[in-house]
Amino acid sequence: MKHLALLVSFLFTLPFLQAQAPPAITDFRLDGDARQSGADCITLTPDYQWASGSIWYKKAISLNASFEMELRVMLGCKDQEGADGMVFVFHPYAERTGYRGEGMGFAGLDPAIGIEIDTWQNEHLGDPWQDHIAILRDGSVFHGFNLAGPNRIANIEDCREHDLNIQWSADSKTLSVRIDGKLVITLQRDLVKTIFRGRDKVYWGVTSATGNYNNRQAVCFEKLDFELVEELPVLELQGQKVRELMRGEFITLDHIQFESGGSNLTPASRQELDELAKIMHEHPNMDLDIIGHTDNEGSATTNLSLSEKRSRAVAEYLKRKGISPKRMNPRGLGEKYPRSSNDTRSGRMRNRRVQLRLIEPIA
Ligand SMILES: [Ca+2]
Ligand SMILES: [Ca+2]
Protein backbone atom coordinates (compact mmCIF):
# COMPACT_ATOMS: atom_id res chain seq x y z
CA MET A 1 0.00 0.00 0.00
CA LYS A 2 2.82 2.36 -0.76
CA HIS A 3 0.90 4.23 -3.41
CA LEU A 4 -2.27 5.38 -1.83
CA ALA A 5 -3.66 7.64 -4.50
CA LEU A 6 -6.14 9.17 -2.14
CA LEU A 7 -8.10 12.29 -2.74
CA VAL A 8 -9.47 15.09 -0.64
CA SER A 9 -11.52 17.64 -2.48
CA PHE A 10 -13.57 20.38 -0.96
CA LEU A 11 -16.48 21.46 -3.10
CA PHE A 12 -18.29 24.44 -1.73
CA THR A 13 -21.69 24.94 -3.20
CA LEU A 14 -21.61 28.69 -2.69
CA PRO A 15 -21.81 30.97 -5.73
CA PHE A 16 -18.51 32.55 -4.76
CA LEU A 17 -16.75 29.22 -4.80
CA GLN A 18 -13.09 29.90 -4.83
CA ALA A 19 -10.46 27.52 -6.08
CA GLN A 20 -7.37 27.20 -3.96
CA ALA A 21 -3.98 26.07 -5.04
CA PRO A 22 -3.32 22.35 -4.54
CA PRO A 23 -2.48 21.81 -0.89
CA ALA A 24 0.93 20.95 0.32
CA ILE A 25 1.75 19.02 3.44
CA THR A 26 2.82 22.40 4.82
CA ASP A 27 -0.85 23.48 4.77
CA PHE A 28 -1.39 21.06 7.64
CA ARG A 29 -0.14 20.86 11.16
CA LEU A 30 1.01 17.35 11.92
CA ASP A 31 0.86 16.26 15.53
CA GLY A 32 2.01 13.17 17.39
CA ASP A 33 3.00 10.20 15.25
CA ALA A 34 1.57 11.65 12.02
CA ARG A 35 4.17 11.55 9.22
CA GLN A 36 4.15 12.31 5.56
CA SER A 37 4.13 8.99 3.70
CA GLY A 38 3.88 10.05 0.07
CA ALA A 39 3.64 13.22 -1.98
CA ASP A 40 0.15 13.94 -0.65
CA CYS A 41 -0.26 11.27 2.00
CA ILE A 42 -0.04 11.28 5.74
CA THR A 43 0.20 8.18 7.89
CA LEU A 44 -1.58 9.05 11.11
CA THR A 45 -0.45 5.96 13.01
CA PRO A 46 2.13 3.33 12.16
CA ASP A 47 1.17 -0.26 12.96
CA TYR A 48 2.52 -0.40 16.46
CA GLN A 49 1.00 -0.15 19.91
CA TRP A 50 -0.09 3.05 21.58
CA ALA A 51 0.51 5.43 18.70
CA SER A 52 -1.56 8.51 17.98
CA GLY A 53 -1.44 11.25 15.41
CA SER A 54 -3.49 14.00 13.84
CA ILE A 55 -3.45 16.43 10.95
CA TRP A 56 -5.11 19.83 11.05
CA TYR A 57 -5.69 22.14 8.16
CA LYS A 58 -4.11 25.41 9.28
CA LYS A 59 -6.90 27.68 8.10
CA ALA A 60 -10.37 27.85 9.56
CA ILE A 61 -13.63 27.21 7.73
CA SER A 62 -17.14 28.46 8.55
CA LEU A 63 -20.09 26.28 9.48
CA ASN A 64 -22.33 29.08 8.17
CA ALA A 65 -21.40 27.94 4.67
CA SER A 66 -22.33 24.62 3.07
CA PHE A 67 -19.48 22.40 2.01
CA GLU A 68 -18.67 18.96 0.74
CA MET A 69 -15.43 17.15 1.50
CA GLU A 70 -14.15 14.07 -0.22
CA LEU A 71 -11.14 12.23 1.02
CA ARG A 72 -9.99 8.68 1.09
CA VAL A 73 -9.00 6.83 4.17
CA MET A 74 -7.03 3.70 4.89
CA LEU A 75 -7.85 1.91 8.15
CA GLY A 76 -5.22 -0.83 7.87
CA CYS A 77 -4.90 -4.48 6.91
CA LYS A 78 -5.67 -6.28 10.18
CA ASP A 79 -9.33 -7.03 10.90
CA GLN A 80 -9.52 -9.19 14.04
CA GLU A 81 -6.33 -7.78 15.52
CA GLY A 82 -6.63 -4.24 14.14
CA ALA A 83 -7.35 -1.04 16.11
CA ASP A 84 -8.49 1.58 16.93
CA GLY A 85 -9.90 3.78 14.17
CA MET A 86 -10.02 7.32 12.89
CA VAL A 87 -12.07 10.44 13.57
CA PHE A 88 -12.79 13.37 11.26
CA VAL A 89 -13.01 16.37 13.59
CA PHE A 90 -14.26 19.95 13.74
CA HIS A 91 -12.64 21.79 16.64
CA PRO A 92 -11.76 25.42 17.54
CA TYR A 93 -8.04 24.59 17.70
CA ALA A 94 -5.79 23.20 15.01
CA GLU A 95 -3.02 21.61 16.97
CA ARG A 96 -4.16 18.83 19.20
CA THR A 97 -4.40 15.07 19.37
CA GLY A 98 -6.68 13.61 22.01
CA TYR A 99 -6.23 10.41 23.99
CA ARG A 100 -4.87 7.24 22.45
CA GLY A 101 -6.32 3.75 22.26
CA GLU A 102 -10.10 3.72 22.38
CA GLY A 103 -10.00 7.55 22.32
CA MET A 104 -8.82 7.42 18.66
CA GLY A 105 -7.04 10.75 19.13
CA PHE A 106 -10.44 12.43 19.61
CA ALA A 107 -11.16 11.80 23.29
CA GLY A 108 -10.67 14.96 25.32
CA LEU A 109 -11.11 17.46 22.47
CA ASP A 110 -13.83 19.82 23.71
CA PRO A 111 -15.84 21.42 22.20
CA ALA A 112 -15.79 19.28 19.08
CA ILE A 113 -17.74 17.26 16.56
CA GLY A 114 -16.19 13.95 15.52
CA ILE A 115 -17.20 11.51 12.80
CA GLU A 116 -15.64 8.26 13.97
CA ILE A 117 -14.80 5.17 12.00
CA ASP A 118 -14.23 2.77 14.88
CA THR A 119 -12.58 -0.59 14.21
CA TRP A 120 -12.11 -1.92 17.73
CA GLN A 121 -15.01 -2.97 19.88
CA ASN A 122 -14.86 -1.55 23.39
CA GLU A 123 -17.79 -3.07 25.22
CA HIS A 124 -17.83 -0.50 28.02
CA LEU A 125 -18.22 2.32 25.48
CA GLY A 126 -21.25 0.70 23.90
CA ASP A 127 -19.36 -0.18 20.69
CA PRO A 128 -21.35 -2.60 18.51
CA TRP A 129 -19.55 -5.85 17.74
CA GLN A 130 -18.53 -4.74 14.27
CA ASP A 131 -16.75 -1.83 12.60
CA HIS A 132 -19.02 1.16 12.97
CA ILE A 133 -19.53 4.86 12.40
CA ALA A 134 -20.99 7.45 14.77
CA ILE A 135 -21.11 11.21 15.22
CA LEU A 136 -19.56 12.12 18.54
CA ARG A 137 -19.38 15.34 20.52
CA ASP A 138 -16.97 17.11 22.83
CA GLY A 139 -14.27 14.49 23.05
CA SER A 140 -16.51 11.70 24.34
CA VAL A 141 -16.25 8.32 22.60
CA PHE A 142 -18.99 6.78 24.77
CA HIS A 143 -22.02 5.96 22.65
CA GLY A 144 -24.38 6.91 25.47
CA PHE A 145 -23.50 10.53 24.66
CA ASN A 146 -23.11 10.39 20.88
CA LEU A 147 -25.24 12.50 18.56
CA ALA A 148 -25.91 9.86 15.92
CA GLY A 149 -25.22 6.13 15.51
CA PRO A 150 -23.41 3.92 16.15
CA ASN A 151 -24.21 2.40 12.75
CA ARG A 152 -22.54 -0.83 11.69
CA ILE A 153 -20.48 -0.85 8.51
CA ALA A 154 -18.78 -3.67 6.61
CA ASN A 155 -15.23 -4.51 7.71
CA ILE A 156 -13.13 -1.52 6.70
CA GLU A 157 -9.73 -2.91 7.78
CA ASP A 158 -9.35 -4.61 4.44
CA CYS A 159 -6.04 -3.13 3.28
CA ARG A 160 -7.88 -0.88 0.85
CA GLU A 161 -8.53 2.81 0.53
CA HIS A 162 -12.12 3.94 0.97
CA ASP A 163 -13.89 7.09 -0.15
CA LEU A 164 -15.14 9.20 2.73
CA ASN A 165 -17.58 11.93 1.72
CA ILE A 166 -18.76 14.50 4.24
CA GLN A 167 -21.45 17.04 3.39
CA TRP A 168 -22.67 19.91 5.52
CA SER A 169 -25.75 21.88 4.52
CA ALA A 170 -25.76 25.24 6.29
CA ASP A 171 -29.41 25.76 5.30
CA SER A 172 -30.88 22.57 6.70
CA LYS A 173 -28.04 22.19 9.25
CA THR A 174 -27.53 18.61 8.22
CA LEU A 175 -24.33 16.61 8.27
CA SER A 176 -24.27 13.60 5.93
CA VAL A 177 -21.52 11.01 5.67
CA ARG A 178 -20.97 8.51 2.88
CA ILE A 179 -18.46 5.70 2.65
CA ASP A 180 -17.76 4.41 -0.86
CA GLY A 181 -20.83 6.28 -2.08
CA LYS A 182 -23.25 4.79 0.45
CA LEU A 183 -24.99 7.03 2.99
CA VAL A 184 -23.94 5.68 6.40
CA ILE A 185 -24.99 8.35 8.89
CA THR A 186 -26.69 11.75 9.11
CA LEU A 187 -27.23 14.35 11.80
CA GLN A 188 -29.50 17.36 11.75
CA ARG A 189 -28.43 19.86 14.39
CA ASP A 190 -27.43 23.50 14.79
CA LEU A 191 -23.75 22.79 15.46
CA VAL A 192 -22.80 26.46 15.77
CA LYS A 193 -25.31 27.10 18.53
CA THR A 194 -25.41 23.81 20.40
CA ILE A 195 -21.80 22.65 20.13
CA PHE A 196 -19.55 25.62 19.40
CA ARG A 197 -21.37 28.14 21.61
CA GLY A 198 -22.11 30.57 18.81
CA ARG A 199 -18.79 30.32 17.01
CA ASP A 200 -19.10 29.35 13.36
CA LYS A 201 -15.39 29.26 12.58
CA VAL A 202 -13.72 25.94 13.20
CA TYR A 203 -10.71 23.99 12.10
CA TRP A 204 -10.99 20.53 10.59
CA GLY A 205 -8.64 17.66 11.11
CA VAL A 206 -8.32 13.90 11.20
CA THR A 207 -7.15 12.04 14.29
CA SER A 208 -6.26 8.40 14.79
CA ALA A 209 -4.74 6.12 17.40
CA THR A 210 -3.78 2.59 18.30
CA GLY A 211 -3.78 0.85 21.67
CA ASN A 212 -2.89 -2.71 22.62
CA TYR A 213 -3.81 -3.60 19.05
CA ASN A 214 -2.90 -1.55 16.02
CA ASN A 215 -3.14 -0.84 12.31
CA ARG A 216 -1.41 1.52 9.94
CA GLN A 217 -3.98 4.27 9.40
CA ALA A 218 -3.62 6.97 6.75
CA VAL A 219 -5.29 9.78 4.81
CA CYS A 220 -4.22 11.38 1.55
CA PHE A 221 -5.35 14.24 -0.63
CA GLU A 222 -4.72 15.79 -4.00
CA LYS A 223 -6.53 19.08 -4.04
CA LEU A 224 -8.68 21.40 -2.03
CA ASP A 225 -11.34 23.70 -3.40
CA PHE A 226 -12.98 25.85 -0.83
CA GLU A 227 -13.39 29.26 0.62
CA LEU A 228 -11.29 30.03 3.66
CA VAL A 229 -12.34 32.30 6.47
CA GLU A 230 -10.11 34.47 8.59
CA GLU A 231 -7.62 32.51 10.61
CA LEU A 232 -8.46 31.92 14.23
CA PRO A 233 -5.88 32.85 16.80
CA VAL A 234 -3.60 29.91 17.46
CA LEU A 235 -2.32 29.63 20.97
CA GLU A 236 1.33 29.12 21.60
CA LEU A 237 0.75 26.00 23.64
CA GLN A 238 4.09 26.01 25.31
CA GLY A 239 3.17 25.04 28.79
CA GLN A 240 1.10 22.40 30.50
CA LYS A 241 -0.66 25.18 32.38
CA VAL A 242 -1.89 26.88 29.24
CA ARG A 243 -3.17 23.53 28.00
CA GLU A 244 -4.98 22.96 31.28
CA LEU A 245 -6.40 26.46 31.15
CA MET A 246 -7.72 25.91 27.64
CA ARG A 247 -9.35 22.67 28.77
CA GLY A 248 -11.32 24.65 31.34
CA GLU A 249 -9.38 23.35 34.32
CA PHE A 250 -8.38 25.39 37.35
CA ILE A 251 -4.75 26.43 37.35
CA THR A 252 -2.58 28.22 39.87
CA LEU A 253 0.00 30.55 38.44
CA ASP A 254 3.02 30.04 40.64
CA HIS A 255 4.29 33.55 40.28
CA ILE A 256 1.13 35.29 41.34
CA GLN A 257 2.19 35.91 44.92
CA PHE A 258 1.17 38.35 47.57
CA GLU A 259 2.90 39.74 50.57
CA SER A 260 1.75 38.09 53.79
CA GLY A 261 -1.36 39.90 55.02
CA GLY A 262 -1.47 42.10 51.93
CA SER A 263 -3.07 42.16 48.53
CA ASN A 264 -0.20 43.76 46.63
CA LEU A 265 0.99 41.75 43.66
CA THR A 266 4.70 41.03 43.61
CA PRO A 267 6.46 42.25 40.44
CA ALA A 268 7.01 38.66 39.29
CA SER A 269 3.24 38.16 39.27
CA ARG A 270 2.76 40.70 36.55
CA GLN A 271 4.59 38.77 33.89
CA GLU A 272 2.25 35.79 34.14
CA LEU A 273 -0.76 38.07 34.28
CA ASP A 274 0.44 39.80 31.12
CA GLU A 275 0.49 36.38 29.44
CA LEU A 276 -2.99 35.68 30.73
CA ALA A 277 -4.24 39.04 29.41
CA LYS A 278 -2.83 38.12 26.00
CA ILE A 279 -4.69 34.79 26.00
CA MET A 280 -7.91 36.56 27.00
CA HIS A 281 -7.52 39.09 24.20
CA GLU A 282 -7.05 36.19 21.78
CA HIS A 283 -10.20 34.47 23.06
CA PRO A 284 -12.68 37.30 23.57
CA ASN A 285 -15.57 34.87 24.11
CA MET A 286 -14.00 33.32 27.20
CA ASP A 287 -14.58 34.52 30.73
CA LEU A 288 -12.31 34.15 33.73
CA ASP A 289 -13.02 32.77 37.19
CA ILE A 290 -10.58 34.20 39.73
CA ILE A 291 -10.50 32.61 43.17
CA GLY A 292 -8.31 33.97 45.97
CA HIS A 293 -6.88 31.89 48.84
CA THR A 294 -4.86 32.79 51.95
CA ASP A 295 -2.67 31.05 54.51
CA ASN A 296 -4.01 30.54 58.06
CA GLU A 297 -2.32 33.50 59.70
CA GLY A 298 -4.95 35.83 61.13
CA SER A 299 -8.64 35.17 61.71
CA ALA A 300 -10.84 33.25 59.29
CA THR A 301 -13.00 36.33 58.70
CA THR A 302 -10.01 38.53 57.96
CA ASN A 303 -8.64 35.88 55.62
CA LEU A 304 -11.92 35.60 53.74
CA SER A 305 -11.91 39.35 53.16
CA LEU A 306 -8.23 39.25 52.23
CA SER A 307 -8.78 36.47 49.69
CA GLU A 308 -11.48 38.55 48.06
CA LYS A 309 -9.13 41.52 47.88
CA ARG A 310 -6.49 39.31 46.27
CA SER A 311 -8.82 38.05 43.57
CA ARG A 312 -9.97 41.61 42.94
CA ALA A 313 -6.33 42.74 42.70
CA VAL A 314 -5.84 40.26 39.85
CA ALA A 315 -9.06 41.42 38.14
CA GLU A 316 -7.98 45.04 38.55
CA TYR A 317 -4.61 44.33 36.98
CA LEU A 318 -6.21 42.56 34.01
CA LYS A 319 -8.66 45.42 33.63
CA ARG A 320 -5.69 47.79 33.25
CA LYS A 321 -4.52 45.45 30.48
CA GLY A 322 -7.80 46.05 28.65
CA ILE A 323 -9.89 43.08 29.84
CA SER A 324 -13.52 44.01 30.50
CA PRO A 325 -14.60 43.53 34.14
CA LYS A 326 -17.73 41.85 32.75
CA ARG A 327 -15.56 38.94 31.68
CA MET A 328 -14.14 38.37 35.17
CA ASN A 329 -15.64 36.79 38.25
CA PRO A 330 -13.35 37.42 41.26
CA ARG A 331 -14.15 35.55 44.48
CA GLY A 332 -12.41 34.68 47.74
CA LEU A 333 -12.43 31.41 49.68
CA GLY A 334 -10.20 32.46 52.59
CA GLU A 335 -7.97 29.92 54.31
CA LYS A 336 -10.22 26.86 53.87
CA TYR A 337 -8.42 25.29 50.93
CA PRO A 338 -4.67 25.19 51.53
CA ARG A 339 -2.57 23.29 49.01
CA SER A 340 0.42 22.98 51.34
CA SER A 341 1.05 22.83 55.06
CA ASN A 342 0.64 26.13 56.86
CA ASP A 343 3.39 25.05 59.29
CA THR A 344 6.25 26.25 57.11
CA ARG A 345 7.04 29.61 55.62
CA SER A 346 7.23 28.21 52.08
CA GLY A 347 3.99 26.30 52.59
CA ARG A 348 2.18 29.44 53.71
CA MET A 349 3.56 31.26 50.69
CA ARG A 350 2.18 28.54 48.40
CA ASN A 351 -1.20 28.88 50.07
CA ARG A 352 -1.41 32.61 49.40
CA ARG A 353 -2.48 32.20 45.85
CA VAL A 354 -5.04 32.82 43.15
CA GLN A 355 -6.63 30.07 41.08
CA LEU A 356 -7.84 30.78 37.59
CA ARG A 357 -10.21 29.09 35.22
CA LEU A 358 -11.20 30.13 31.72
CA ILE A 359 -14.78 29.28 30.81
CA GLU A 360 -16.87 29.76 27.73
CA PRO A 361 -20.22 31.11 28.87
CA ILE A 362 -23.15 29.56 27.01
CA ALA A 363 -25.24 32.29 25.50
CA1 LIG B 1 -13.68 1.39 19.77
CA1 LIG C 1 -12.89 -4.71 11.26
Model confidence over 52-103: pLDDT tens digits? Answer: 999 998 888 899 988 888 888 999 999 999 999 999 999 988 878 999 999 9
Q: Which ligand is nearest to the CA of 157?
A: 2
CATH domain 9-220 topology: Jelly Rolls (2.60.120)
The answer to whether residue 180 scores a pLDDT higher than 60 is: yes
**pLDDT at residue 363 in the model:** 53
CATH 2.60.120.200 positions along the chain are 9-220
Report how far ligand 1's centroid is from the alpha carbon of 149 (Å): 13
Which ligand lies nearest to the CA atom of residue 86 in the structure? 1
CA of 347 to the centre of ligand 2 (A): 54
Ligand nearest to the CA of 85: 1
Distance 89 CA to ligand 1 centre (A): 16
Which ligand gives the minimal distance to the CA of 122?
Answer: 1
Architecture of domain 240-359: 2-Layer Sandwich (3.30)
Q: 123 C-alpha to center of ligand 1: Å? A: 8
Residue partners of 236: CB distance under 8 A and separation at least 6: 242
Domain span(s) for CATH 3.30.1330.60 in the chain: 240-359
The Å distance, Cα 263 to ligand 1 centre, comes to: 51
- d(CA 209, ligand 1 centre) in Å: 10
Cα(238) to ligand 2 centroid in Å equals 38
> Mind listing the pLDDT tens digit for each residue in 194-252?
999 888 889 999 999 999 999 999 998 755 555 555 554 433 335 677 778 777 778 77
